[in-house]
C-alpha cells in the first residue's frame, strides 16, 4: 500500500487521472472535506502511482486530497475513511497493517516525491487502520 497526497484538489486530481496523456493514476482518491472515496483503477489492474514499475505492479495507491504543507486538508473524515479503505484492502489481501507494508510515496525506491509529508500523522493513521 502506498499513501500519497495529491498536491491538487480532489476534482483536479480526478481530471488528471482521466487524461491518458498525463500517464498517472492511483487506485483510489480520498476527498478531504467528507472522506468520500473514488475508485479510479480496479485493484486487479496496475495504476501508475509509485514512480517505480515494480512497486506499481504489486501495490495499491491511495491518493489523499491536499498538499504536504497544508495540514488543514488532513481532516478527521479523510483519515477515518482512508483508514477504513486501507484496513479492508489489508484484510482482503492478507497485508499486515503496519508501516512496513503501508508506506509513504517518498519511501518508494527512486521516488523524487515528498508526500505525504511530515505533517501526515502516521501514528494516528496506523492506529485507525488497526482499529476498524
Is residue 63 part of the annotated active site? The answer reads yes
Q: Where are the domains of the chain?
A: 2-131
Distance CA 26, CA 123 (A): 23
Q: pLDDT for 87-99, tens place per residue? A: 999 999 999 999 9
Q: Domain spanning 2-131: which superfamily?
A: Peptidoglycan recognition protein-like (3.40.80.10)
**Sheet strands (E) in 11-95:** 28-30, 37-39, 61-64
Q: pLDDT for 25-79, tens place per residue? A: 999 999 999 999 999 999 999 999 999 999 999 999 999 999 999 999 999 999 9
User: CA nearest 62: which of 90, 42, 86?
Assistant: 86
8, 21, 43, 63: the catalytic one is 63
Amino acid at each position: 500500500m502506498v499513501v500519497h497526497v495529491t498536491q491538487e484538489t480532489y476534482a483536479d486530481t480526478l481530471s488528471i487521472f482521466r487524461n491518458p496523456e498525463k500517464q498517472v493514476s492511483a487506485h483510489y482518491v480520498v476527498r478531504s472535506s467528507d472522506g468520500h472515496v473514488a475508485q479510479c483503477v480496479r485493484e486487479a489492474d496496475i495504476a501508475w502511482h509509485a514512480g517505480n514499475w515494480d512497486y506499481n505492479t504489486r501495490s495499491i495507491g491511495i491518493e489523499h486530497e491536499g498538499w504536504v504543507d497544508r495540514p488543514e486538508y488532513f481532516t478527521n473524515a479523510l483519515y477515518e475513511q482512508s483508514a477504513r479503505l486501507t484496513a479492508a484492502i489489508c484484510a482482503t489481501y492478507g497485508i499486515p497493517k503496519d508501516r512496513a507494508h503501508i508506506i509513504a510515496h517518498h519511501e518508494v525506491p527512486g521516488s523524487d516525491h515528498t508526500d505525504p509529508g511530515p505533517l501526515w500523522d502516521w501514528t494516528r493513521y496506523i492506529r485507525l487502520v488497526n482499529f476498524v
